[in-house]
Amino acid sequence: MTSWEDLDATALASAVRRGDLSARESVEHAIDRIEGLDGRLNVMVGRRFEEALAEVDRGLPDGPLTGVPTVMKSLGADVAGLPTTRGSRLFADKVAAADSELVRRYRAAGMVVLGTANTPELGLNPSTESVLHGPALNPWRETHSTGGSSGGSSAAVAAGMVPVAHANDGGGSIRIPASMCGLFGLKPSRGRVSPAPAAAVAAITSHQHAVTRTVRDSALLLDVSAGPLRGDAFGIAGPQTTFADAVGRDPGHLRIGLMTRLADGPETHPDCVAAAERAARLVEALGHEIVPLDVTWNSGAVQAPSGVLMGTAVVVAIEDRLAELGRDLRDDDIEPFTRVIFERYRGGSAVDVVRALQAAQNIGWAIGRLFERVDVLLTPTLCRPTPELGYLDTQDPAAMYERAIQFSSWTSPFNVTGMPAMSMPLAQDSTGLPLGVQFVADQAHDELLLSLAGQLEQAAPWELLAPRA
């Protein structure tokens, strides 16, 4: 008999709809699972179990995901009544007065929010190891990173605490932890999901969605969450039918551009190269054409505008919080790496931001020209396999600058361009840990990625739960 934790969100919602189990039983299973595992994995940073059960007892909306429990990342999504800590001591007691738009849409679909998940401070570390909350542990190997910044969400899904969890991605923060935790992680196109109530500048590079165990869950969640809020600075046309339909649709014959070596920046580890090359052989076996390509962008040129846009957003967030508190910044408010970024960008000007936006657009045009030759790009997700905890230490800013780029060099270009990109758990490294490969499509072609992902998932299914969970 299939156990609760083996069900993905789509199957779980169907079971509730059929009456095989009640919404309350579904939520109670998730709560029991969290209570049994979280003391070991340190995933949850905010809980609302009693409130969630009370919501179920009052009656949930009749939606496509009724009775499906989830958790929200404690950064980029507010849950009314819970602290949105952003992984930072400066925000530790900032309680959300209202739900974010994405939380509202999840609730309207019948989902039940059980709490908030661990994240690094202000999302700046590609590993979830904040001073405030401590490290989230990878359920595949607890000595190793979950990735970041959606590491708590990813660990929760990989461990079977919840079938899906909210995540967002400003430089790889969906795809990096998806790779490290053996999950499917889609960063949608810019404008696909409303960032409300986040300011528009954050929506330029940071995009909202989720980490999931199956492709169909990601598509169904995107159907639930996609679509602009009136007044959004960015919007994008909807799917032909639904994103869920796209998963079962034949993607047709695709030209897939394979890239495994960066033009500059860190060298890509042989395990990561081998993962991408193995994926290339798989797509060839499915009838697609592999087109070897050279990387046409300069990693330093990508990091510069990304750093300005994200660094300026960090400055605004910290200064706004200090204004709320009516005081100056203290030594123990933020971590050393965050302080370096804050000091570096706090003296920036509007001219710097405009130049960063111009540079981002030029990069978008340059990468966009690749899609005149191919339909999809295939790359490693990461430059190196999952590190041990402590390798990415925000107490050592110099080491962070040197090491963090190893985990974002393949992912961050597509935040700058706004193009959809997904990490698929199609490989393992030489030690047996999951290793993702990345597929990228042109702006607004999320459906194409989901169709290809569905085909690959059928051809090469992966473990849906971490073996130790």
CA distance 84 to 80: 9
Q: Is 73 a residue of the active site?
A: yes
| Element (DSSP H or E) covering residue 168 | strand 164-169
Cβ-contact 115, 46 below 8 angstroms: yes
**CB within 8 A of 315, min separation 6: which ones?**
342, 345, 346, 348
Exposure letters 328-355 (e unless 16+ CB within 10 A, then b): eeeeebbbebbbbbbeebeeeeeebbee
Q: Would you call 187 a catalytic residue per the annotation?
A: no
Q: Classify 439 as helix, strand or coil.
A: strand
Of residues 74, 130, 150, 173, which has the active-site annotation?
A: 173
Please tell me the distance from the alpha carbon of residue 127 to that of residue 29, in angstroms, as a whole number.
Answer: 28
Question: Is 149 annotated in the active site?
Answer: yes
Q: Which pairing describes strands 184-187 and 421-428: parallel, antiparallel, or unpaired?
A: antiparallel
- Single out the catalytic residue among 26, 74, 88, 149: 149
> 73, 88, 189, 412: which is the annotated catalytic residue?
73
Q: For residue 249, give both structure tokens.
A: 């649709």
The contacts of residue 100 (CB under 8 Å, 6+ apart) are 76, 77, 78, 79, 196, 197
Residue 390: what residue type?
A: G
Catalytic site positions: 73, 149, 173
